[in-house]
Amino acid sequence: MTTANEAQREYWNRDDARHWVDQQARYDEMLEPFGAAMLDAAGITSGEHVLDVGCGNGVTTRSAARSTVDGRALGVDLSEAMLERARALALKEGVANVSFDADDAQTRQFTPEFDVAISRFGVMFFDDPAAAFANIRSGLRPGGRGAFIVWQALPANEWMAVPGAAILEYVDPPDGDPTAPGPYALADPDRVRSIFDTAGFRDLSIDAFTAPMLVGGRGTLDDATTFMRNSGIARAMLDDKPANLQERAIAAVREALKPHLTDEGVQLGGATWLVTATSS
């Protein structure tokens, strides 16, 4: 694999990928409304060939494969561990028209064979987003479609802002460029517009899609707290801190989540952009 995103490749092959693999069912439950909205926008029909960018454990790739029936779906991702899980689940669920490749979507050599490119939160990690989307577009046949879902800015996302504010009572906020590769890199619609224009897409739409989400999937307050504690962002903020400070910060997260506990689990709002476009 040649990769332009070496730091991301390393990141998604270390502990964070482990959390995504170990907690795959919880992530899929939590993110389900967003994958469903993205797949709805993609409008996949029978016989189409689908590319899922940054497919992770592959739930959206398998859904796409089911929708296309006589077509096929390919998931591309940097994370070997998540792809292994994706392949195992496809086998278990009997989805045969699906395959998964370890590769960098920014540099993979595509041929224009796909009718649709999709992604659920897998396209915010490129070091050169315009080059990456141009490369993804090179995999689309003329007139092919793209449907990508990305996070709006962190303050609009209660599910991160609420526990995040609790942690910030104990540690300094992480500094850095908000447009750097990471979950919120495509939060600014003007930036998305410019990236997609440069990448050669047309008919661009950027629509807000918000939904309540179950933090860490269905479960108890403690399940949600543990899930958030072990997420990449909390680990980055807390792991190097003294144990007693970590404990107090996590107790504060639990308290902050408590008012949002429902019969199903801790429920907080998620805010995304649903980005659709066609290949010129």
Contact residues for ligand SAM (CB under 6 A)? 5, 8, 12, 27, 31, 54-57, 76-79, 82, 104-106, 120-122, 125-126
Q: How far is CA 215 from CA 21, 68, 176, 269, in A?
A: 16, 30, 26, 9
Question: Shortest Cβ distance from residue 145 to ligand SAM (Å)?
Answer: 18
Between 120 and 254, name the residue whose CB sits nearer to ligand SAM.
120
DSSP 8-state code for residue 212: E
Question: Shortest Cβ distance from residue 191 to ligand SAM (Å)?
Answer: 17
Please report which helix (H) or strand (E) contains residue 250, including its range.
Answer: helix 243-257
Write down how long the chain is: 280
Residue 226 CB coordination number (10 Å): 18
Between 13 and 267, name the residue whose CB sits nearer to ligand SAM.
13
Question: Shortest Cβ distance from residue 126 to ligand SAM (Å)?
Answer: 5
Q: Which two tokens stand for residue 41?
A: 């926008």
Q: In sequence order, what are the residues at sequence separation of 6 or more whose Cβ sits closer than 8 angstroms to the Cβ of residue 209?
A: 34, 37, 149, 271, 272, 273, 274
Between 77 and 115, name the residue whose CB sits nearer to ligand SAM.
77
Question: Shortest Cβ distance from residue 258 to ligand SAM (Å)?
Answer: 26
Between 136 and 253, name the residue whose CB sits nearer to ligand SAM.
136
DSSP 8-state code for residue 169: T
Nearest residue to 260 (alpha-carbon basis) of 183, 168, 160: 160
Between 104 and 158, name the residue whose CB sits nearer to ligand SAM.
104
**Cβ–Cβ < 8 Å for 60, 39:** yes
Between 192 and 249, name the residue whose CB sits nearer to ligand SAM.
192
Question: Shortest Cβ distance from residue 81 to ligand SAM (Å)?
Answer: 9
Question: Which amino acid is present at 106?
Answer: Q
**For the residues of 9-26, what is the DSSP string, one character each?**
HHHTTSHHHHHHHHTHHH
Between 214 and 249, name the residue whose CB sits nearer to ligand SAM.
214
Question: Shortest Cβ distance from residue 251 to ligand SAM (Å)?
Answer: 27
Nearest residue to 214 (alpha-carbon basis) of 251, 177, 253, 159: 159
Q: Which two tokens stand for residue 195?
A: 């990236």
Q: Which two tokens stand for residue 100?
A: 């998964």
Question: Shortest Cβ distance from residue 242 to ligand SAM (Å)?
Answer: 29
